[in-house]
Amino acid sequence: MRHNEIHFVCVTRRGVVCQIGVEILVDDPIDAAAEGADRPVLELESDGFAELYQAHSREIFYLTLRLLGETHKAEDATHDVFLKAYKKWGDFRGDSSARAWLYRIAINHCSNLRQSWHNRNLVTGADESIWENAAAASDSPLRVLETKELGQRIQKTLDALSDEYQLLLLLVADEELSYDEIAALVGQSADAVRGKLHRARKAFAAHFEKTV
């Protein structure tokens, strides 16, 4: 439903301030909210922020889902990441790609969350050397008979790896990120990333076989 409202508008141009009264037709806020209740898209008037969400929410949600392991945690984290991004959107200078910038916020956010959980619960670190020397080679194909529970198997596998390996594997799976961007995100050189990825893939393959 729409109704008429009288608004006073201040216009400042070249030092001249004028005040005018205008009658405009505005949407009733309750009806507007109801109309958009089943619309998944974000409608914000903030210089392309809605487009940013549309373009990158999928990879940010996937990263948080696999780093945090639970859908409701990933939902909260994705919301919080984009809210942080919204607050900083005006300061984003484009030194990195928007994708890498969002990944940076998401990685820091998930890292803080996981650190607080680790502090509350004693967690033993994964011993990667066992799996790096396991029979499975990183270039062996991964066979999957049933894709229905594939997500659970992947989560179980990632959970068995170190935080560093998890992050590297998830980032490198995003083809839009270059090795240089991944290296910057994890704070290492591109060569170091390539070396660790080889071991991470091998560890993943070995763990994945055990999850059948």
Task: Give the interface with other proteins as residue ranges (CB under 8 A).
Answer: 7-8, 10, 36-37, 39-44, 46, 53, 57-59, 61-62, 65-66, 71, 75, 78-79, 82-83, 86-87, 138-139, 141-147, 150-151, 154, 169-170, 172-175, 177-179, 200-201, 204-205, 208
Please say which residue, 83 or 123, places its beta carbon nearer to other proteins. Answer: 83
Which residues are within 8 A (CB) of 64 and not within 5 positions of it... i.e. 6 or more apart? Answer: 73, 74, 77, 78, 81, 106, 109, 110
Least CB distance to other proteins at residue 189 (A): 16
Please say which residue, 90 or 121, places its beta carbon nearer to other proteins. Answer: 90
Do residues 111 and 87 lie in contact, with contact meaning Cβ atoms separated by under 8 Å?
Answer: no
Torsion of CA 84, 89, 92, 98, to 10 degrees: 80
Least CB distance to other proteins at residue 63 (A): 9
Least CB distance to other proteins at residue 124 (A): 23
C-alpha–C-alpha distance, residues 47 and 33, integer Å: 21
Q: What is the phi/psi pair of residue 13, to 5°?
A: -145, 120
Least CB distance to other proteins at residue 120 (A): 26
- 49-57: long-range contacts, CB 8 A cutoff, minimum separation 24: 49/85, 49/86, 49/89, 52/85, 52/89, 52/98, 52/102, 53/82, 55/98, 56/98, 56/99, 56/102, 57/82
Indicate the helix (H) or strand (E) that contains 76. helix 71-88
Least CB distance to other proteins at residue 194 (A): 10
Please say which residue, 91 or 175, places its beta carbon nearer to other proteins. Answer: 175
Q: What is the phi/psi pair of residue 196, to 5°?
A: -70, -30
- Helix 150-159 × helix 163-172 angle, to 10°: 140
Please say which residue, 113 or 154, places its beta carbon nearer to other proteins. Answer: 154
Please say which residue, 39 or 120, places its beta carbon nearer to other proteins. Answer: 39
Least CB distance to other proteins at residue 204 (A): 4
Please say which residue, 134 or 154, places its beta carbon nearer to other proteins. Answer: 154
